[in-house]
């Protein structure tokens, strides 16, 4: 497979410094650009995996940590991540690495919710792909397991998420998550993505985000849209075969959405 370049970068969103990398093909650009939105908390490695495969296919990918996670500044909030998403598109388009006439967005898990809530009001985005998306942010925010998940992040690797050092801070973050979800919810926004093409990829064995809810999100979306259910895929794509099918599906769809055989 083709080599890629990994270039550190940072940008400002609502006063917070957001840090990440451009993952781009070898050779001369500019290239069509894709913004990659990670989950909650997402992997510490935002560069390899789907970002590298998209770059190998000819795209310049902006992979970064949302505010409140890892190397970026600030404290997590859904409203803040939506601001980060729009600032990321601006940063992508202002880069000399990218073609300023086309932008795709890839959102995984909670990043999928952020994509759905940010894209309808951003005419610069041309195509949206969601993998295992959080389809209802209010449902997610009220999950009984959400607080234990945050506590687990703190116990295993507190660097992953800022501001979770004490129970009061964790409670405040979760309270704000519910408040933001009452305003920003993919269920209410997904229909507004149309007429931009939308792909949703989900695993048949995802025990974290239920397939029924994802299908409901898909049904609410306008055309053009595609839903691909990958048999044997769990939320984290731990099965190599399911991982490969998922990645190939995403890459080929973006190539088709861009309208060329790059």
Secondary structure (DSSP) of 125-188: --EEEEES----HHHHHT-TTHHHHHHHHHHH-GGGBTT-SSHHHHHHHHHHHHHHHTT--HHH
Residue 167 resides in a domain: no
Task: Write down the pLDDT at residue 169.
Answer: 84
Average pLDDT per consecutive 10 residues, the chain (262 residues; last block may be shorter): 88 97 92 96 91 96 97 96 98 94 96 97 96 96 78 79 84 92 97 97 96 98 98 96 98 91 43
Query: What is the rounded distance in angstroms from the CA atom of residue 115 to the CA atom of residue 186?
Result: 9
Which DSSP symbol is given to 207?
S
pLDDT at residue 80 in the model: 97
pLDDT of 145: 65
Q: Which sign, positive or negative, has the C-alpha torsion 232, 111, 248, 240?
A: negative
| 53, part of any domain | yes
Domain span at 72: 4-135+187-258
CA neighbor of 216 nearest in space, from 145, 127, 134: 134
Query: Which has the closest alpha carbon to 107: 189, 169, 177, 31?
Result: 189
- Which pLDDT score, from 0 to 100, does residue 148 have? 72
Cis peptide bond upstream of 207, omega within 30: no
Nearest one of 27, 34, 72, 70 to 53, comparing CA atoms: 34
Task: Look up the CATH number of the domain holding residue 216.
Answer: 3.40.50.1820
Examine residue 91 and state whether it is found in any structural domain, yes or no: yes
Whether 204 is in a domain gets the answer yes
pLDDT tens digits for 109-156?
999 999 999 999 899 999 999 999 999 999 999 887 677 777 778 787
Does the residue 173 lie in any domain? Answer: no
Distance CA 28, CA 69 (A): 32
pLDDT on residue 260: 52
DSSP H/E element including 229: strand 225-230
Q: Which residues contact 128 (CB under 8 A, 6 or more apart)?
A: 104, 105, 107, 115, 116, 119, 193, 196, 197, 198, 199
Q: Report which of 184, 61, 178 is spatially closest to residue 112, judged by C-alpha positions.
A: 184
Rg (alpha carbons) of the chain, rounded to whole number? 17
Q: How many domains does the chain have?
A: 1
């Amino acid at each position: 497979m083709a080599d890629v370049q990994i270039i550190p970068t940072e940008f400002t969103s609502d006063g917070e410094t957001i840090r990440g990398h451009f993952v781009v093909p070898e050779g001369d650009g500019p290239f069509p650009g894709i913004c990659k939105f990670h989950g909650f908390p997402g992997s510490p490695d935002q560069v390899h995996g789907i970002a590298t495969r998209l770059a190998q296919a000819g795209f310049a990918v902006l992979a970064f940590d949302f505010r409140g996670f890892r190397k970026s500044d600030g404290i997590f909030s859904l409203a803040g991540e939506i601001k980060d998403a729009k600032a990321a598109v601006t940063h992508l388009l202002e880069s000399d690495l990218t073609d300023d006439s086309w932008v795709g967005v890839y959102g995984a898990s909670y990043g999928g919710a952020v994509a759905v809530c940010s894209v309808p009001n951003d005419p610069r985005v041309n195509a949206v792909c969601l993998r295992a998306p959080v389809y209802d942010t209010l449902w997610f925010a009220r999950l009984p397991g959400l607080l234990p998940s945050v506590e687990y992040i703190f116990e295993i690797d507190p660097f992953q998420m800022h501001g979770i050092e004490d129970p009061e801070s964790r409670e405040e973050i979760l309270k704000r998550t519910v408040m933001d979800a009452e305003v920003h919810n993919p269920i209410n926004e997904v229909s507004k993505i149309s007429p931009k093409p939308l792909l949703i990829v989900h695993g048949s064995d995802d025990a974290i985000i239920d397939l029924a809810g994802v299908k409901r999100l898909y049904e609410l979306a306008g055309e053009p849209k595609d839903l691909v259910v990958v048999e044997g895929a769990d939320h984290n794509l731990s099965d190599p075969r399911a991982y490969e099918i998922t990645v190939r599906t995403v890459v080929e769809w973006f190539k088709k959405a861009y309208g060329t055989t790059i």
